[in-house]
Structure 1
Amino acid sequence: MSAGGLVVSTRGLVHIYRAEGHDVAALSGVDLVVGSGEMVGLLGPSGAGKSTLLTLFGGLMRPSAGRVQVGDHELSTMTEAELDAFRAAEVGLVLQGASRNLLPYLTPHQNVEFAQHTARRAGRDVPPAREVLDLVGLGDRGRRPLASLAPGQLQLAALAVALASRPGLLLGDEPTSQLHHTSRDTVLAALARVNEEWGTTIVVVTHDPEVAARLPRTVTIRDGRVGGEGRAGEEYAVVAADGSLPLPPAAVGAFPPGALVRVHEVDGVWTLKSENGDASRG
Structure 2
Amino acid sequence: MTLARREKPAPVAHSSGGVAVTCHRLIHIYPTATGDVVALSGVDLDIAAGEMLALVGPSGSGKSTLVAILGGLMQPSAGRVYVGDHELSRLSTKGLAALRGGTVGTVLQGAERNLLPYLSLSRNVWLAQRPAARLAGRRLDPPEALLDLVGLAGAGARRVGELSPGQRQRAALAQGLAAGPGLLLVDEPTSQLDASGRDEVIAALTTVNAERGTTVVVVTHDDKVGARLGRAVTIRDGRVGAEGRNGRDFAVVAGDGTLQLPPETFAAFPAGTLFEVDHTDQSITLRASTNPSSPAVNDGARASDGPDPTA
| Same fold (TM > 0.5) | yes
Q: Does residue 280 of the first structure (1) align with residue 302 of the second (2)?
A: no
* Alpha-carbon distance between aligned partners in 2 of 1:84 and 1:204, rounded to the nearest angstrom: 22
1:223 — aligned with what?
A: 237
* Alpha-carbon distance between aligned partners in 2 of 1:80 and 1:280, rounded to the nearest angstrom: 51
* Alpha-carbon distance between aligned partners in 1 of 2:264 and 2:277, rounded to the nearest angstrom: 18
1:276–1:50 CA distance, 2 compared to 1 (3 A) = same
Which one of 190, 193, 196 corresponds to residue 179 of structure 1?
193
Aligned length: 281
Q: Does residue 239 of the first structure (1) align with residue 284 of the second (2)?
A: no
Please list the CA deviations of residues 136-170 of structure 1 after superposition, one character each: whole Å capped at 9, or x if unmatched: 11121111222222221111111100000110000
Which one of 156, 159, 176 corresponds to residue 145 of structure 1?
159
Q: Does residue 10 of the first structure (1) align with residue 32 of the second (2)?
A: no
* Alpha-carbon distance between aligned partners in 1 of 2:126 and 2:157, rounded to the nearest angstrom: 12
Is the partner of 1:263 in helix, strand or coil? strand
Is 1:269–1:281's contact at 8 Å kept on the other side of the alignment? Answer: no
Shift of 1:261: 2.7
**TM-score of the superposed pair, with normalisation by structure 2:** 0.86
Shift of 1:251: 3.1
Q: Does residue 46 of the first structure (1) align with residue 59 of the second (2)?
A: yes
Is the partner of 1:68 in helix, strand or coil? strand
Deviates more, 1:234-243 or 1:57-66: 234-243
1:106 — aligned with what?
A: 119
Structure 1 unaligned residues grouped into runs of 5+: none
Q: Does residue 69 of the first structure (1) align with residue 82 of the second (2)?
A: yes
Which one of 41, 50, 62 corresponds to residue 28 of structure 1?
41
**TM-score of the superposed pair, with normalisation by structure 1:** 0.94
Is 1:5–1:168's contact at 8 Å kept on the other side of the alignment? Answer: yes
Rg bigger for which structure? 2
1:249–1:139 CA distance, 2 compared to 1 (3 A) = closer
Please list the CA deviations of residues 97-124 of structure 1 after superposition, one character each: whole Å capped at 9, or x if unmatched: 1110011111111111111100011222
1:84 — aligned with what?
A: 97
* Alpha-carbon distance between aligned partners in 2 of 1:64 and 1:240, rounded to the nearest angstrom: 19
AA in 2 matched with 1:238: V
* Alpha-carbon distance between aligned partners in 2 of 1:213 and 1:233, rounded to the nearest angstrom: 6
Please list the CA deviations of residues 214-269 of structure 1 after superposition, one character each: whole Å capped at 9, or x if unmatched: 11000000111111100010011110112111233333365544444321135834
* Alpha-carbon distance between aligned partners in 1 of 2:36 and 2:281, rounded to the nearest angstrom: 46
AA in 1 matched with 2:309: S
* Alpha-carbon distance between aligned partners in 1 of 2:267 and 2:159, rounded to the nearest angstrom: 54
* Alpha-carbon distance between aligned partners in 2 of 1:83 and 1:247, rounded to the nearest angstrom: 35
Which one of 120, 128, 131 corresponds to residue 133 of structure 2?
120
Q: Structure 1 vs Structure 2: percent identity of aligned residues?
A: 56
Please list the CA deviations of residues 79-105 of structure 1 after superposition, one character each: whole Å capped at 9, or x if unmatched: 100000010001111111111001111
* Alpha-carbon distance between aligned partners in 2 of 1:165 and 1:253, rounded to the nearest angstrom: 44
Is 2:16–2:50's contact at 8 Å kept on the other side of the alignment? Answer: no
Is the partner of 1:141 in helix, strand or coil? coil
Deviates more, 1:207-216 or 1:51-60: 207-216
* Alpha-carbon distance between aligned partners in 1 of 2:124 and 2:226, rounded to the nearest angstrom: 29
Which one of 143, 146, 160 corresponds to residue 129 of structure 1?
143
Structure 2 unaligned residues grouped into runs of 5+: 1-14, 292-303
* Alpha-carbon distance between aligned partners in 2 of 1:267 and 1:33, rounded to the nearest angstrom: 25
Is 1:270–1:281's contact at 8 Å kept on the other side of the alignment? Answer: no
